[in-house]
Amino acid sequence: MAGVQDRVVVVTGAGGGLGREYALLLARHGARVVVNDLGGARDGTGSGNAMADAVVAEIRAAGGQAVASYDSVATEEGATGVIGTALREYGAVHGVVNNAGILRDASFAKMTVDQWEAVQRVHLFGGYHVTRAAWPHFREQGHGRVVMATSTSGLYGNFGQANYGAAKLGLVGLVNTLAVEGRKYNILANAVAPLARTRMSEDAAPAELLERLPAEFVAPVVAHLLTDECADTGTVLIAGGDRVQRVAYFASKGVTFTGTPSLRDVADRWSDITDMDGAAVGTNPLA
Ligand code: NAI
């Protein structure tokens, strides 16, 4: 199958920002798109149909195929509804883009349990629930594509985003295992950390920097991960501005000790342990 033609792709949080761009591009390339959006505010409060409806109308006006879903990804029930929309309307689901997201920023010292939990529920639990609802269908048809929206806040850390960073890197951990478990069923899972001017990022960087980060730039990268042409799995990318990069964990050569090292031994060899000269992409030594 060429590109994403006729593929049924669910894009969560597609009522605005990056998700809207993903949905528009996928539909332009012949995908049948489930435009999911709860339709709330940036902090996840509120809900409504208008955002998802507007994107569906835009796609249909351009001759594409799309259907709206207003469920929240944050619950098992909601996620079942999202995938159910794909199955009911189009009889299949071939790909999910777990893009829905909210922010509840606060410094770690001031962050409440509610702020922590609300962000985990949408990002980490959302990615989990929606993928889990699609997984049996992917296995059965011997084809599935998962794209997780991760973030440089998770990959590198960012002030005020302990909740968000933890959730976003949690999704990379989920991708790593989905890649291992999905491969034999032709289910591939990857993650993209976008950099884009949206309502979510509007106060995250200076206006002149955001000007150079159009959301549409990220869409072809996400779409490529949904095609048969892309055989990657477990890959993490950063996409935004004028650049697309792969990000990976590297392991240093390290130090081999004969027997259990003493506290002194570790301190004495610390610079060798942490020296990244000659480091290589890390793999799970227990797998
Ligand atoms: P956005 O706020 O424009 O889009 C997020 C969408 O998710 C909104 O339309 C919102 O209504 C929807 N949503 C929120 N909670 C939901 C729920 N429970 N169920 C269904 N939909 C829900 O923000 P943006 O920037 O487009 O973000 C898209 C994704 O990209 C997010 O996961 C975000 O964390 C991630 N990201 C964005 C970056 C950027 O530079 N804009 C940087 C790194 C990551």
Q: Domain segments of the chain: what residues?
A: 8-248, 251-281
Q: 234: Cβ below 6 Å to ligand 1?
A: no
| pLDDT (tens place) for every residue of the chain, 287 residues total | 579 999 999 999 999 999 999 999 999 999 999 999 999 999 999 999 999 999 999 999 999 999 999 999 999 999 999 999 999 999 999 999 999 999 999 999 999 999 999 999 999 999 999 999 999 999 999 999 999 999 999 999 999 999 999 999 999 999 999 999 999 999 999 999 999 999 999 988 899 999 999 999 999 999 999 999 999 999 999 999 999 999 999 999 999 999 999 999 999 999 999 999 999 999 999 98
For residues 253 and 278, is the Cβ–Cβ distance under 8 A? yes
Taking the CA of residue 14 as reference, the ligand 1 atom at the shortest distance is: 9
Q: 179: Cβ below 6 Å to ligand 1?
A: no
- Whole-angstrom Cα distance, residue 159 to residue 166? 12
Contacts of residue 203, Cβ cutoff 8 Å, sequence gap at least 6: none
Taking the CA of residue 197 as reference, the ligand 1 atom at the shortest distance is: 41
pTM over 0.85: yes
For residues 189 and 178, is the Cβ–Cβ distance under 8 A? yes
- Whole-angstrom Cα distance, residue 75 to residue 206? 35
Q: 102: Cβ below 6 Å to ligand 1?
A: yes
Question: Does 164 qualify as catalytic in the annotation?
Answer: yes
- Whole-angstrom Cα distance, residue 149 to residue 155? 12
Rounded distance from Cα 102 to ligand 1 centre (Å): 6
Specify the CATH number of the domain 8-248.
3.40.50.720
Write down the catalytic residue from 22, 70, 164, 249.
164
